[in-house]
Structure 1
């Protein structure tokens, strides 16, 4: 399989709790989701294989104006995975089709990250869901409940995701060599996505507020590769937007790694 066997879906929900309408915020006279699309094009995907999925006609109109494939989805979805599942159903993609879920609020997502997740997914079909992690480098990040930690077993198998400081080295609590933070990008086949969305919310998922725990709770295998590059935080607040807008407008960034 190659990149041509992968579809990219970029969820772009209008009603963000902290920053309503953020997909339409402008950077260099283009909306945030346009910049995410550019990163996917730079990763080697064709525009025909990239779809923005939204719940708002204003985003539909803007994407149409920019000649970006756009699909209107329900306003009732609880998660981006549910929205992507609706796209797969509407487009009639086969069960074997791999779908890459790229967040619509990360205009500086590294191109290398997209490429490496695609390659990892295609070369590890034993995993029903794939994602990425990054080394935790500071104790403050390790104990921060807003930074999700991933616990990995052999050959990239994800054993658990948690907001707690984990795993803990018994002999040296400052040893973070096996501590990884989760990077919010996913890939799955249409069959795996449909299976995931068929399950109700799992108790651990509700407890930690982590959607990926639904998959693990129901026995779905999750694989993760370790990404070595830099990752800019996405746009969650107005201060995030102003910082990333400044980086892009001053060309003070490198999306290639």
Structure 2
């Protein structure tokens, strides 16, 4: 089982984000440190980048770099190149950890990887937790997922799904999608050759391509702490404080 961390220097909202310092370390180092805790196998964690500056920093703290093309439109394409560069068999599992998740829970990484390993007929795995805040239901930045009895995903949407005609019942049936994926290497190779789905283009959600083409996505239920991702400098300031406060208590 491999862990891949795509890291891109160029960003419209936050250029150079992977190298932004949080509590004295670059963000990408925090992500890498969390990732290697998942299975305690640093040699199975790769940072996929197209930037020499990122590669130099990663090499400085002992991480492994895999250079990928600068032309990729999304992380899925970057991971598909990675599995070919590593010559992975189609059955090998690759967990995609976002490079802007410095607080990601290692147990979440492990959970998603094991979910796919234990679901033989699934093409990829992801995670979800229960939505307890009613405000989140109408927030289009929070993606919802509806699952079948066997735990596979029916559909993902930015809208509030499922629609409850008679009002919100006691005990929320709503699930928040957590944006982490485990893929079989063969799935990554196949996805890059498939045409985009109409639903994917409407919702701007890449995972809908897999569903539209008949792939099975198994969903693990996560009960741990929610992590703050870093999309903006304001997010970075919040995470920096959390990391500094945590360091003072240890």
**Fold shared per TM-score above 0.5:** yes
Note the alpha carbon deviations across 1:188-242, whole angstroms, 9 max, x for none: 1111111111112211111110000010111111110111111122000001000
Match of 1:84 in 2: 79
* 2:68/2:78 contact within 8 Å kept: yes
Cα distance change, pair 213–253 in 1 and its aligned pair in 2 (3 A): farther
SS in 2 for 1:82: helix
- Which of 125, 129, 144 aligns to 1:130? It is 125
Shift of 1:253: 11
- Give the alignment's TM-score, normalised by structure 1: 0.93
Contact kept in structure 1, 2:7 and 2:18, CA below 8 Å: yes
> Within the alignment, does 1:69 sit opposite 2:64 as a pair?
yes
Contact 1:41 1:47 in 2 (8 A): yes
Matched, 1:187 2:185: no
1:149-200 Cα deviation digits (max 9, x unpaired): 1111112110000011111222223556221111010001111111111112
String of CA shifts for 1:56-112, please: whole Å, max 9, x gaps.
Answer: 111011111222100111111111111011111111111111000011100100122
Size of the aligned set, in residue pairs, is 249
Q: SS of the counterpart of 1:156?
A: coil
Segments of structure 1 that go 5 or more residues without pairing to the other structure are: 1-5
For the residues of structure 2 that align with 1:163 and 1:98, how far apart are their CA atoms? Answer: 28
Secondary structure in 2 matching 1:191: helix
Matched residue, 1:15? 10
Alignment of 1:158-237 (within 5 A): 158-173=153-168, 177-237=172-232
Separation of aligned partners in 1, 2:222 and 2:246? 23
Local SS of the residue matching 1:133: strand
TM-score, normalisation: structure 2: 0.95
| Matched-pair contact (CA < 8 Å) for 1:136–1:176 | no
CA distance in 2, matches of 1:125, 1:248: 38
User: What RMSD, in angstroms, separates the aligned Cα atoms of the two structures?
Assistant: 1.6
- CA distance in 2 between counterparts of 1:252 and 1:197 reads 41
Distance (Å, rounded) in 2 between the aligned partners of 1:116 and 1:196: 23
**Superposed, which structure 2 residues align to 1:30-69 within 5 Å?**
30-69=25-64
Gaps of 5+ in 2: none
Q: For residue 151 of structure 1, give the secondary structure of its aligned residue in structure 2.
A: strand
- Of 98, 106, 109, the match for 1:103: 98
After TM superposition, give the deviation of residue 28 of structure 1 in Å.
Answer: 3.0
